[in-house]
């Protein structure tokens, strides 16, 4: 029997970049938050400022093992998201996506909790359709170096929809496009953090290929708002599950990697020079979300410009590098 009126929310991967921002917003919204993380790529520094909050609890746990708790909502964010981290132990990456999905779906089934899966634009692979809509099935190499993440997330989506169809689970599948902001790990190998750290250190900025491949960068605050609006969609008539997705969440403004590098140099006042290296295997040439569905269904679109978001992110990395953490 639930005594408190506070919503009990579980965030897996809650000590990671996105997870910690989500925990923070949920606490501000009056929820009881259970943050679960095995600290493979997350860090206690991201959640240290929540310590002492009576409505926040941290649990060290690996989602590849079952979890027995009582919750009302689940945000399943657990999985390393940067190539450096997910390629370090590719078997564990796949297990985190697949076994983790099975365990969290089993928990949602038992507790009758609404559950959101943090999927990824990587399910589209190196797309042949541009921009990418939710109806596009993708162009993914199933045996490449990135497939532990790409195919793991695709399989997780399959599991979510099968639990939805077979057991009537109220699921939400969000396909996240490139997101950046404070609390990114300085050494996670992602393009925004790489460029900012190199620029602040006046080191050469490393571009792969000719730098003309494109990405769409969404600031973390906008991304978290998308999660919350998606999860807040009402259930259907007679308690039936609501709209399951998938829904693209990302910034539709497309930039080349070279444009990003030049903007970071300008905003940091860096003396860095651009250097070019061969393009990694299976690296997508284009990535841009069609967010028509999110606009219509969630009344959501990003509000924070790339320049504004980068300034806030640069300020964070300046403090990190200054402290030596």
Domain with 157 in it: what CATH number? 3.40.50.720
* CA–CA gap between residue 189 and residue 249 (Å, rounded): 22
CA-to-CA dists, residue 252 to 152, 217, 255, angstroms: 25, 8, 10
Residue 315 lies in a domain: no
Burial class of residue 28, CB neighbours in 10 A (0-12, 13-18, 19+): exposed
Report the alpha-carbon distance of residue 275 to residue 256 in Å, rounded: 15
In a domain, 260, yes or no: no
pLDDT digits (tens, 9 = 90+) for 31-89: 999 999 998 888 999 999 998 999 999 999 999 999 999 999 999 999 877 677 777 78
Confirm whether 317 is domain-assigned.
Answer: no
- Least Cα distance to 216 among 314, 311, 149, 130 occurs for 130
Residue 31: Cβ within 10 Å count = 19
Task: Quickly count: other Cβ atoms within 10 Å of residue 91's Cβ.
Answer: 8
Pair 146, 282: CB distance under 8 Å: yes
Give me the pLDDT at residue 73, please.
98
What is the model's pLDDT at position 268?
Answer: 94
The distance in angstroms from the start CA to the end CA of the chain is: 44
d(CA 280, CA 37): 30
Residue 320's pLDDT is what? Answer: 85
Going from the C-alpha of 242 to that of each of 116, 176, 236, 238, the distances in angstroms are 12, 20, 5, 11
Helices 90-111 and 147-167, axial angle in degrees (round to 10): 20
Tell me, yes or no, whether 271 lies in a domain.
no
Please tell me the predicted confidence (pLDDT) of residue 51. Answer: 87
CA separation for the pair 182, 317 (Å, rounded): 7
Does a structural domain hold residue 324?
no
Domain that holds residue 239: 8-179+219-250+283-303
203 part of a folded domain = no
* 10-residue averages of pLDDT along the chain (325 residues): 81 96 97 95 91 95 96 94 76 93 98 97 91 93 89 96 96 96 87 93 90 92 98 75 91 93 95 87 80 96 96 94 70
Round the CA-based radius of gyration of the chain to a whole number and report it. 19
- CB atoms under 10 Å from CB of 1, counted, come to 2
**pLDDT for residue 190:** 86
* Spatial distance between the Cα atoms of 285 and 210, rounded to a whole number of angstroms: 11
Query: What is the Cα–Cα distance from 273 to 184, expressed in whole angstroms?
Result: 23
Number of folded domains in the chain? Answer: 1
Q: For residue 149, indicate whether it is catalytic.
A: yes
Dist. CA 71–CA 289, nearest whole Å: 32
From residue 58, give the alpha-carbon distance in Å to each of 16, 34, 52, 69, 202: 12, 6, 11, 13, 38
pTM exceeds 0.95 for this model:
no
Of residues 149, 163, 180, 316, which has the active-site annotation? 149
236 occurs within a structural domain: yes
CB 231, CB 75: distance < 8 Å: yes
Classify residue 124: in a domain, yes or no: yes
């Amino acid at each position: 029997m639930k005594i408190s009126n506070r919503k009990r929310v579980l965030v897996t991967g809650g000590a990671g970049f996105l997870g910690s921002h989500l925990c923070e917003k949920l606490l501000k919204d009056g929820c009881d938050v259970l943050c679960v993380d095995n600290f493979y790529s997350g860090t206690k520094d991201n959640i240290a400022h929540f310590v002492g909050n009576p409505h926040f609890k941290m649990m060290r746990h690996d989602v590849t093992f079952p979890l027995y708790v009582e919750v009302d909502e689940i945000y399943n964010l657990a999985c390393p998201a940067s190539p450096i981290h997910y390629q370090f132990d590719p078997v564990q990456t796949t297990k985190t996506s697949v076994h983790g999905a099975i365990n969290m779906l089993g928990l949602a089934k038992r507790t009758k909790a609404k559950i959101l899966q943090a999927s990824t634009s990587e399910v589209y692979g190196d797309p042949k359709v541009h921009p990418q809509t939710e109806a596009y099935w993708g162009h993914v190499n199933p045996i490449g170096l990135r497939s532990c993440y790409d195919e793991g997330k695709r399989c997780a989506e399959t599991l979510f929809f099968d639990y939805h169809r077979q057991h009537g689970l109220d699921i939400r599948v969000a396909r996240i496009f490139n997101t950046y902001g404070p609390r990114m790990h300085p050494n996670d190998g992602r393009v925004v953090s790489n460029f900012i750290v190199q620029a602040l250190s006046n080191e050469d900025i490393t571009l792969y290929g000719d730098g003309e491949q494109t990405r769409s960068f969404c600031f973390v605050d906008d991304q978290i708002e998308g999660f919350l609006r998606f999860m807040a969609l009402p259930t259907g008539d007679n308690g039936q599950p609501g709209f399951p997705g998938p829904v693209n969440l990302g910034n539709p403004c497309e930039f080349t990697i070279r444009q990003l590098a030049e903007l970071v140099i300008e905003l940091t006042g860096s003396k860095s020079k651009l250097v070019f290296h061969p393009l990694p295997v299976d690296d997508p040439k284009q990535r841009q979300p069609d967010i028509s569905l999110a606009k219509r269904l969630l009344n959501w679109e990003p509000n924070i410009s790339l320049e504004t978001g980068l300034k806030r992110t640069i300020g964070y990395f300046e403090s990190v590098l200054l402290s030596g953490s």
